[in-house]
Structure 1
């Protein structure tokens, strides 16, 4: 197994670690600043999530640079991304920091685009990631991180940054999904 695929697998293995620190209430203590509270386990979960999310670009860069692109990597990379984002979105719903409809929309778009890609592959075509898809990923990661750390540090100035980030994630997620289908409608035979 080559290095990019090992990095992708590491991202997959980090998903349950993020969930563990995000959902299990360890007695590491609570950071309290005035009326703001966040557990240290949530901070650890966020840092692990950032580490895992940052490996997405790294594995792709190494694979392209060293010409190590494999079919396994093409399969695992988007799977790892979807597992990581979906698991955290569902956890944030459980923690009551995210409305369920938001998680459902984002996860549904991921399934829809994955389905489109599977149909394309069956017809011998590859649908590459678009600039909108890449932007969607970055905005989703920002939104998720802001929710995981409970809008820190924007909480102190009364700026609902996490709310803005979530709305931006929803809008760009839906637009990028539309973009994939509009540009690849020839793949779907009605």
Structure 2
């Protein structure tokens, strides 16, 4: 297994660590991050999430620079993103930090696209992530991070940056989902 795929697997390994830290009610107190009280476990979970999300950029950069792009990586990388995003969104709902309807829109698109990828894979085709899908992922990751850390450090300025980013992520999720199905409708014709 090549290095980018190993890094992707590490990203998947971060998921239970993130969830344990974020959801388990540790009695660590809270931090004041520029006027925002953030539970310590949420701050630590935010760092773990940021590292896990950062591996998405890292594995892609290594794969492109070293010409290590593989069909397995084209499938595993977006799947790892979806697993990380799903775990984070469900955790945020559990803690009442995100409206469930936003998560449902995001997760519906993710499952639909994964389903289309599986249909294509059954025919021996691999559908790589589109640039629009990559931007969707960036905004999802940023929104999730700021929700995890309770909008710090922007709360003191009165900017709801986490929800602004989440709205952008939801809009990009819908647009990229439509784009994905329009560009790959041939996959479903034979299904």
Over the aligned positions, Cα root-mean-square deviation in angstroms equals 1.7
TM-fit CA distance, 1:145:
0.8
What is the TM-score of this pair, normalised by structure 2?
Answer: 0.92
Q: Distance in 1 between matches of 2:39 and 2:109?
A: 31
Higher relative contact order (CA 8 A, sep 6+): 2
SS at match of 1:38: strand
Question: 1:11-33 CA deviation, whole Å, 9 max, x = no partner?
Answer: 01100111111111222221146
Aligned to 2:58: 58
In the TM superposition, 1:65-80 aligns within 5 A as 65-80=65-80
Distance 1:129 1:11 in 2: 17
Measured in 2, the distance between the counterparts of 1:64 and 1:130 equals 15
Superposed structure 1 runs of 4+ greater than 6 Å apart: none
SS of 2:125's partner is: coil
Matches within 5 A, 1:1-150: 1-32=1-32, 36-150=36-150
Please give the secondary structure, in 1, of the residue aligned with 2:88.
Answer: helix
Tell me the SS of whatever aligns to 2:129. Answer: coil
Q: Partner of 1:48: helix, strand, or coil?
A: helix
Looking at structure 2, the residues matched to 42 and 133 of structure 1 have their Cα atoms a distance apart, in angstroms, of 27
Question: C-alpha separation between the residues in 2 aligned to 1:33 and 1:145?
Answer: 14
SS in 1 for 2:189: coil
Q: Please give the secondary structure, in 2, of the residue aligned with 1:188.
A: helix
Q: Which runs of 5+ in 2 are unaligned?
A: none
Q: For the structure 1 residues 11 and 26, does the alpha-carbon distance in structure 2 shift closer, same or farther, using more than 3 Å as the test?
A: same
Q: 1:156 to 1:115 in 2, by over 3 A?
A: same
| Structure 1 residue 64, shift from structure 2 partner | 2.6
Structure 2 distance, partners of 1:60, 1:33, is: 32
C-alpha deviation, 1:57, in angstroms: 1.7
Count of residues in Structure 1 that have an aligned counterpart in Structure 2: 190
In 2: Cα distance, 1:79 partner to 1:189 partner: 24
Cα separation, 2, equivalents of 1:52 and 1:32: 24
Which blocks of at least 5 consecutive residues in structure 1 are unaligned?
Answer: none
Q: Secondary structure at the match of 2:38?
A: strand
